[in-house]
Structure 1
């Protein structure tokens, strides 16, 4: 069997990643909420004409929150697959994963406040 080319393999990988992104947005409420917040903050960035540095910080914060939220969803799905019944150890894993989302969400909110509070005052 001939080995698949590097290029075809990368294209296929990108296709899987895009499929995963769309599945998350269409099926997971937590990602949908984060996506709406990202759209609102992007609109606010255009409205307030934030600086390039502020855009970098805002986009980094949005990407980090959505990326960690995606990982949290994946961890929860794996945990539910491995142990569908209630298990305190699985619960701890899920809590820690949710805590990671909370941590980056708080930092992203602080970044948003630093960018937008001066513009609102």
Structure 2
């Protein structure tokens, strides 16, 4: 995977390819990411419809990226936990619950941001 004699640009190009592959694997295999991606599409449409400001776009995009990134990390951590210990193990469950909690925190924050951005548009 990592050839020390490989030129820097080639190595970066390959790294980008692995990252894109990971993004598509997430979208293809993980229901939670699919739901979040669908919500992101709806919020993007809403942003165009309500003609939100540049700052509102930045905040909305940041919230979307934050939730989806933390969900990706949660998925990776869950896969590692399942690999390490396939059967139920309380300590693994604790780790997975904490990671899921991080997703919940970011999702609640994104929901609050969405409400703050869009409730005034409906009033």
Q: Which residue of 2 aligns with 1:74?
A: 76
Tell me how far apart the structure 1 counterparts of residues 4 and 36 of structure 2 sit (CA, whole Å).
43
Q: Secondary structure of 1:92's partner?
A: helix
Stretches of structure 2 that go unaligned for 5 or more consecutive residues are none
1:24 aligns with 2:26: yes
Q: TM-score, normalised by structure 2?
A: 0.96
Q: 1:2 to 1:96 in 2, by over 3 A?
A: closer
- Stretches of 4+ moved more than 2 A in 1? none
Q: How does 1:16-95 map to 2 (within 5 A)?
A: 16-95=18-97
Q: Provide, for residues 31-83 of structure 1, a one-character-per-residue CA deviation record: whole Å limited to 9, x for no partner.
A: 00110010000110000000000000000000000000000000000000000
Q: Provide, for residues 3-57 of structure 1, a one-character-per-residue CA deviation record: whole Å limited to 9, x for no partner.
A: 0000000000000000000000000001001100100001100000000000000
Stretches of structure 1 that go unaligned for 5 or more consecutive residues are none
Tell me how far apart the structure 2 counterparts of residues 62 and 10 of structure 1 sit (CA, whole Å).
25
